[in-house]
Amino acid sequence: MTSQKVETTTTKASKKGKRSRKNKKGNKVQDPPKEQKELGHKELEFLEKLRKPKLSETKTKVGRITINELFGYELPPTSNTALNTYGNPFYLDPIQILQMQILLNSKSQHHGYCYNSGMFLPEMPLPTTRLTPAGVGMLDPEYDSKQYKGSNNTNEKNNSLSNTGFDGESHNDIMNRFFPKCNQEQSKRIESGLGVFNSFNSKMNRGSHPIRGNFVNSNNHHKGTQFKHGQQNANANAFNNRSPVTKNPPKKTFFVPYITHEQVARGLKNNQLVSGTIRVNQKNYEESYIDNPEGDDQIDVLILGLHDRNRALHGDIVVVKFKDRMNWVIRESLYQSWREGKLSNSLDDDGQPISIPPVTKNNIPKTEMDELLDFMPESFRSHIDKPEKKNMDVEFNKESYTRFELLNIAAKMQIELKKLEEGTGILCHLSKENCIGIRKLQISRIQHDDNEEYECPDSPIHRNKNNVNGVRRAAFRTLNDMPAEDWGIPDICLQKTAEVVYIKEERHTRMAVGQLKPLSDGNKNYALFSPADPRMPRMMIPFDQLPDKFYESPGDFAKFIFVARLIEWNEKSQFARGKLYRPIGLSTEVDSQIKGILMSNGVEFKDFTPNSMSSLKYLTADEFVITSKDLELRRDYRAEKSFSIDPRNSKDIDDLIHIKEMENIDGKGTKGYEVGVHIADVTHFLEAKSELDEWAQRRGEALYLTGKTIPMLPEVLSEELCGLLKGLDRFAISVVWKITENGDIIDEWIGKTIVQSKAKLSYDEVSYFLENPAENACEEIKPVGDDIVKIKSLYLVLNEKRRKNGYLHLPKPKITFTLAENTSTPVNVCMEKKGIGKKIVSEFMTMANCSVAKKLEKDYPKLAILRRQAEPKKKILQDTVEFCSKLGYDIDASSSKSIAESLDKIYNDPKTKNTVYPVLTQLLSKPMQMAQYVCAGLTMNEEECKHYCLNTNTYTHFTSPIRRYADIMAHRLLSASLGHSKISDLAPKHMEIICKNSNEKSLSAKTCMEACDELYLGYIVKEFGKLEQIGVVVGILDQAFEVYFPKLGISKRVYTNRLRLSRDPIYDNSPLPQLTLIWDPVLMDTPVNKESEKNTDDENSTLKSSSEQVIKICSLVKCVFSPTSEPFKYQTVILPTTDTDIPAMIDELNSEVLL
């Protein structure tokens, strides 16, 4: 019956031809010509064909539909009842809006319906708020207030019934947000075209809707004339000029508003929300993580994209909400193992047997159309057939399209129709703004350079022989992307995802350094601040904060570095609002870059004020005098041959060691040694709660950079009053042991002392002396040379004993730089030698820290400040061990001791010492958790106080009070336990604050030192032109691989699109992934015959030649660091090598020469 009605209507329309009617002013309005009538039908059919190639397989009706068929009933021509009876307007997917408006427009024009002004069809506007994952946005709370009030005029009332559409003013902005901008020729073709997509410029505007009001003059319509809502156009006298001007649509919401504090408390209590510290990936700011609240045996929770990060910054404590299971990310390697039936785990992450739950109808998530139909009136919904659902693999299914693809299709429909008739046509690239404005259903990671063009991930990539790969991309797949038969995948093959709903504590400083740039749209009321740290957002800087004459010559300011602070970032702003402080120098100057690093990490480096120094008893070392009372309260060790061993040129000496042989250490004739570790007594001079103490607490830790030190304490304390300088009497707190020759501790004493250093030695001097005993010692060592030999022999015994008890050390090489005299400009780089001198000091300092920790925990179990390291994350450790096993190296990860023993075997093999060993230490470092300061009274049990790598039950930091505030607190507690002071007003909550601040400052110091080393290395690369290094591959992706440099202690990613390849690399996504590179024969100096040229064009070619290089885990590669156009930046590429080059590369790794 329905089909007959459609056919009848069509026949009548074709027979009548052109029809005309009059509007209220008496002007004749003709129907659009027949050619235009057919376009609505054609484009709808074309769109349906794109979504469903086989039209016969879909139930979606294509053709002309009557009002009765579409809405379930017919309205009389005199009816003043609006069809828009929804309680609130809702926002639809743009492609669904286009389909509906095509139907409505083509239906009305082809059948000649001419209802009076009381007739009103539903307006379905483009989204003006954030689209939800289901495609239906938030309801408009201001809808009622937008309705026309105060008039009984029927015409005026119905012209203002719905303000949810868009007017002419906002039309272009909305269109530009969702559709790509075309070139001039394409734009003209769209404007002059006859398709219904041009109706956004004419028919679909409020004043020109062909059903709501009178029809537009067909001549004007053909010219593509645009009309603004509520305004009369001189060339279109058919419009009703009494329509009021509507408001612009609400401002787009870029982020979800934070929930309230009460909702947070309730959600955390009910375990619906979880809290944690967010970590943003330095190499990809769209990846963030928090620890899994279910335990360390679970993989971290993934937060994908800026939208889900919701304005949180690295280090903030956030509250997150887990996404539903269909949005969890596929762990590809485990998924493949599961598909192949090779999944070794019999239990999932929750300890339950792995099973495949059946996929029922209730398990199938609703599509966007399903949820849309739920909101439709029953009379409307009953006359619309749902399209059939098909379970197809997303990689090959082209019968369904993402919103991203559909928007491209819709936007280019007018052009593509004509091009398809000619047999040509291709979708154009999207601009950067359009790529950002559309939230794709499939989340992908795109690595690119700053100078790289933003392209649509699905657009064709223009290639050339030097860049055959274009934009490199590695995509995440979610469970929603998988075919329905895989929805029963075990949870172990998935990684949970979440979104931030609240920032509990802003731990990030919100400071950033970067450059000022003018806005691309020419808006001079603001400038764009672009931070150097990619994890920080770009900020809008108001005009009144900009430098003078910035917009007159913005290029002159591009060479300066500025510092800014994030002030505000609300949910309706794509960019944060910042406050510009001041320029800190030229971007090409090392000093300016270092200042920027310090400021962005919240390091305070201003000079100490006179007020802060006022609490000191002595302002110079000459004023300090030891009294008889001091001698009564302290044990005198000035007669012992104490010596210091520190880095060369070190000024703040805070530790001494003495050793002497003893014939009877236990009263039973047992031979052994008396060994003392003496630490500067800083708390004797630093008064608690003084202004200087507050300065020290705020700084938290001294920062030692190449050629520059940011002290925690003023020089009068660190270098004079507290510095244990040679030949001067100084106060100390000492730990003295009596140890047998076998390394057994017979007696221990801790107390306050007076000491005097007899020698100031460096690590290099001690190491050289012990490694070359036949040579004459330097003058500085001679007074204590015998003691140096004794302490070495005792060190070897103690270290071996500690290793047997379980001690794990994962070494990380460090580089040092030589600076030009009186400047901060590096002129050379070399490896830091870790000789035996440094190992000796580290061994005895560790012993002293353990001894003090035991005493503090015993005497102050509620206040003791401890240094703990939690066990490694079990899930990551398990995955790492399995991966190492696939490489052929078995690692026993049952304890820190077993891991150390497994690594020792690999280290002692000359073939793997400098190749495999660095890779395994890098891999095993990832599951290790950072050591942190904790207050013993706030831990749940003894297990939370343990230090994993040291394998000790209690540990603290006591031996560096000049450079760490945590050590100062340990000294104060120790002094109180010895009866020298009182700490009655110190509570666990106060100690917890100190611990948190010390943890933050320790991390900041580490970050600054690494950043400065990277800065110096970039300067060296620029000065030398290039720098060649041998690296070891530690990770492989489809278009890149990670290389670790054992001599530098850094990792760099090598992108294949920067290599001279003759074709795309071949990626083997096996349990042991590998990447096959086919080098340009010219680069390899290898002749290529015609047959090989043909094979390079074949995607499945397996031709083996000398130009082919296979990249595997632990492969040795020859890398080249080369400078870029940006100051201090460099990129990494590799040179082609063969198996014959491996012996020479191993020899180069074994050498200590860096350049």
Distance CA 475, CA 330 (A): 10
Query: Is residue 845 domain-shared with residue 698, that is, in the same domain?
Result: yes
- On whether residue 176 sits in a domain, the answer given is no
Q: How far is it, in rounded angstroms, from Cα 876 to Cα 896?
A: 15
**Whether 705 and 845 share a structural domain:** yes
**CATH classification of the domain holding 541:** 2.40.50.700
What pLDDT sits at residue 1151?
82
Mean pLDDT for 335-362 is: 58
Distance CA 767, CA 361 (A): 73
Question: Could you tell me if 746 and 666 are in contact, meaning their C-beta atoms sit under 8 angstroms apart?
Answer: yes
Q: What is the per-residue pLDDT for 248?
A: 58
Q: What is the H or E stretch that residue 307 is in? A: helix 305-309
CATH of the domain at 293: 2.40.50.690
Q: Does residue 346 have a pLDDT over 50?
A: no
Q: Is the pLDDT at 564 greater than 60, yes or no?
A: yes
The pLDDT tens digits of the residues spanning 970-1022 come to 999 999 999 998 887 889 999 999 999 999 999 999 999 999 999 999 999 99
* Structural domain that includes position 411: 397-480
Which residue in the block uniquely carries the two structure tokens 């490489």? 887
Q: Would you place residue 155 in the very low, low, confident or very high pLDDT band (cuts 50, 70, 90)?
A: very low
Last residue of a domain, one of 1011, 1039, 1071: 1011
* Furthest-apart CA atoms within the chain: distance in Å: 127
In a domain, 453, yes or no: yes
Contact status, residue 869 vs residue 930, Cβ threshold 8 Å = yes
Q: Do 867 and 986 lie in a common domain?
A: yes
Terminal Cα distance for the chain, rounded: 86
For every residue of 683-721, which 3-state class applies, written as one string?
HHCCCCCCHHHHHHHHHCECEEECCEEECCCCHHHHHHH
Residue written as token pair 């003018």: 518
Rounded Cα–Cα distance for residues 893 and 900 (Å): 9
Place 775 in a pLDDT band, splitting at 50, 70 and 90.
confident
Provide the domain count of the chain.
5
pLDDT of residue 931: 95
Helix residue spans in 579-627 (DSSP H):
590-600, 610-613
The three-state secondary structure class of 908 is: coil
Which residue bears the tokens 């004739």? 669
**Which residue has tokens 């289901």?**
134
Q: Is 245 within the bounds of a domain? A: no
**Domain match, 688 and 816 both:** yes
Choose the final residue of a domain: 955, 976, 1011.
1011
pLDDT digits (tens, 9 = 90+) for 483-502: 888 888 898 899 999 999 99
On the question of pLDDT at 187 being above 50, the answer is no
CA distance 123 to 234: 26
Residue 424 lies in a domain: yes
The answer to whether 1129 and 1035 are in contact (CB under 8 A) is no
For residues 781-793, average pLDDT = 94
* Structural contact between residues 928 and 947, judged by C-beta atoms closer than 8 angstroms: no
* Residues 313, 257 contacting (CB under 8 angstroms): no
Beta bridge mates, 539: 529, 576
Helix 785-806 vs helix 836-859: crossing angle, to nearest 10: 60
* pLDDT exceeds 60 at position 394: no
Does position 18 have pLDDT exceeding 50, yes or no?
no
Assigned token pair, 394: 């997303």
User: In sequence order, what are the residues at sequence separation of 6 or more whose Cβ sits closer than 8 angstroms to the Cβ of residue 771?
Assistant: 835, 836
Residue 211: what pLDDT? 33
Please say which residue of 968, 985, 1011 terminates a domain: 1011
Helix (H) and strand (E) counts for the chain?
A: 33, 37
Q: What region, left, alpha or beta, does residue 667 occupy, with left being phi > 0 and alpha being psi -120 to 50 degrees?
A: left
Question: What is the average pLDDT across 947-952?
Answer: 94
Domain assignment present for 378:
no
Same domain as 627, residue 573: no
CA 1135 to chain centre: 30
The reported pLDDT for the residue numbered 942 is 82
Nearest to 1068 by CA among 253, 131, 333: 333
Rounded to whole angstroms, how far apart are CA atoms 59 and 177?
32
Judge whether residue 542 has pLDDT over 90.
Answer: yes
Closest CA to 569 of 351, 306, 896, 771: 306
Averaged pLDDT, 39-66:
47
The residues that bridge with 516 in the sheet, in sequence order, are 529
Residue 348 belongs to some domain of the structure: yes
- Element (DSSP H or E) covering residue 887: helix 874-887
Locus of tokens 């906002």: 170
Provide the 3-class DSSP secondary structure of residue 1108.
strand
CB atoms within 10 A of CB 237: 16
Instruction: Give me the pLDDT at residue 1150, please.
Output: 81
Angstrom CA distances, 613 to 685, 718, 732, stand at 11, 13, 22
Helices (H), 713-835: 715, 763-771, 785-806
Question: Region 639-660: what's the mean pLDDT?
Answer: 93
Is residue 537 situated within a structural domain? yes
Amino acid code (one letter) for 655: D
- Does residue 517 share a domain with residue 496? no
Share of the chain above pLDDT 90, in %: 43
Helix axes 896-907, 916-925, angle to 10 degrees: 160
Judge whether 653 and 665 are in contact, CB under 8 Å: no
Co-location of 957 and 1098 in the same domain: no
For the domain that residue 1099 is a member of, what is the CATH number?
Answer: 2.40.50.140
Quote the pLDDT of residue 914: 83
The label of the residue with tokens 């009263």 reads 667
Domain membership flag for residue 694: yes
Q: At what angle do helices 94-111 and 368-375 cross, to 10 degrees?
A: 60
Which residue, 1060, 1073, 1065, is CA-closest to 1099?
1065
3-state secondary structure of 76: coil
> Residue 370 belongs to what H/E stretch?
helix 368-375
Q: In this predicted structure, what is the pLDDT of residue 98?
A: 55
Task: Tell me the three state secondary structure of residue 85.
Answer: coil
Domain shared by 1121 and 1037, yes or no: yes
Give pLDDT tens digits for 873-890: 888 898 899 889 988 999
pLDDT at 766: 94
Pairwise CA distance, residues 259 & 501, whole Å: 6
Can you give the pLDDT at residue 964? 96
Asked if residue 833 and residue 692 are part of one domain, the reply reads yes
- Residue among 345, 413, 139, 96 nearest 250 (CA): 139
Assess whether 1102 and 1142 both reside in one domain. Answer: yes
**Residues 976 and 1114 grouped into a single domain:** no
pTM for the structure as a whole: 0.68
Residue 1099 has which token pair?
A: 């995607």
| Residue length of the chain | 1155
Residues 700 and 575 in one domain: no
